[in-house]
Amino acid sequence: MNYISAGRSAGGISMAVREIEYVELYARDKQAMADYFASSLGFARVADSVGADRSSVLLRQGDVQLLVTSGPGTWKFLDQHGDGVADIALTCDDVTKTRNAVEAAGGRLAGTIQGNPIVQGFGGVSHTLLPDGGGDGPGARLPGGRTWAAFPGASTRPSGRIRQLDHVAVCLEGGSLSEYADYYGDAFGLSRYSSEYVDTGEQGMDSIVVRSASGRITFTLVAPDPAKSPGQLDAFLDRNGGPGVQHLAFLVDDIIPAVSELRGRGVEFLSTPSTYYDMLAERFADMREEITGLRAAHVLADRDEWGYLLQLFSRSPYERNTLFYELIQRQGSRGFGSANIRALYEAVERDRLAAT
């Protein structure tokens, strides 16, 4: 993986966006999706919001806020993309300045919600721009722009295995990666952090990681190599009706018990071939005892110069087999499992081919 010491942040934007306030998912069946987050991933229902053309439920765990929304106002998105992420709300130092930067970078205003601008992101995904809450962070307040009715007895910051949103992986069309990385630099002040190319022989995948100066917003942008044969990223783009969020990565403190608990709650994770752990034992000779536990849980491991990380990916629980989830534990590592990208790609590819 290539780390970029001086990232692009054109337009002179400094700390334009600070953190992800919430991720909003549109669903045909709001109750079923909310049940998955609550019963399988351990989120707690906090509040409801009912509007003229849509209704939402707010779920929280640690610092993560998810909105699950359904209703006539979501139907156009759902017809094109199916169940998935429709909005990633960003807090800003200056909402007006960020909106102006978006328009100067070629983005457009998609609408407003109670005065808060909603701006273009990628594919059908938008970004609601919200004023910074003064450092309290997500979970300290109900998301702005809506009228909420809190559930009686709901905790303001429910605890669980998941601590925060580590990163958002975005699948883009081949050949568009640099364009979107530039857009997120010019419009939102996100700097290029690292880049990676994975060649699996017949197929290839490019990635660029962009990150806010606060370190609280990280997008991993991935795209298929158009010069290679179509593969899983092309299949995602086809099923999703274009670019979209491929997965949400949730940070946990201790991944093996987290995986065990979530597996017991019904989450289906991708399997990892035994040969992966044979090679892992050769790479990390000082972790042979730990690798036994990783093998049993099917958890992946990787290192960089700052430390190591452990990660595992779920299967998509949705009809179109698009959006899925990741659990990640960081012990100093700042990377994204460079050596595991191929393992993930191959695991998803096995699942894809088995389903055809």
Containing H/E element for 63? none
Q: Residue 170: CB partners within 8 Å, gap ≥ 6? A: 122, 125, 180, 219, 220, 221, 222, 243, 244, 245, 246
Q: Do 265 and 41 form a contact (C-beta atoms < 8 A)? A: yes
Whose CA is closest to 2, among 196, 293, 222? 196
The two structure tokens encoding residue 180: 């979107």
This prediction has a pTM of 0.92
Vertex 57: Cα angle to 51 and 58 (nearest 5): 120
Q: For residue 310, how many C-alpha atoms fall within 13 Å in the half-sphere facing its CB?
A: 21
Strands (E) across 225-336 are located at: 244-252, 300-304, 307-313, 324-331
Containing H/E element for 335? none
Distance in angstroms (rounded) separating the CA atoms of residues 21 and 177: 25
Q: Residue 227: CB partners within 8 Å, gap ≥ 6? A: 204
User: 3-class SS at 252?
Assistant: strand
Whose CA is closest to 59, among 128, 156, 132? 156
Distance in angstroms (rounded) separating the CA atoms of residues 280 and 99: 46
User: 3-class SS at 320?
Assistant: coil
**Which pLDDT score is estimated for 287?**
80
Per-residue pLDDT of the chain (356 residues; tens, 9 = 90+): 676 644 444 444 455 899 999 999 999 999 999 999 999 999 999 999 998 899 999 999 999 999 999 999 999 999 999 999 999 999 999 999 999 999 999 999 999 988 899 999 999 999 999 998 765 666 567 787 788 999 887 777 788 999 999 999 999 999 999 999 999 999 999 999 989 888 877 888 899 999 999 999 999 999 999 999 998 899 999 999 999 999 999 999 999 999 999 999 999 999 888 888 888 888 887 787 889 999 999 999 988 888 889 999 999 999 999 999 999 999 988 877 666 666 666 666 666 666 66
Distance in angstroms (rounded) separating the CA atoms of residues 260 and 255: 8
Q: DSSP letter string over 74-143? A: GHHHHHHH-SEEEEEEEEES-HHHHHHHHHHTT--EEEEETTEEEEEEETTEEEEEEE--SS--TTSSPP
Report the DSSP pairing between strands 324-331 and 244-252. Answer: parallel
- Between the two ends of the chain, the Cα-to-Cα distance in Å is 32
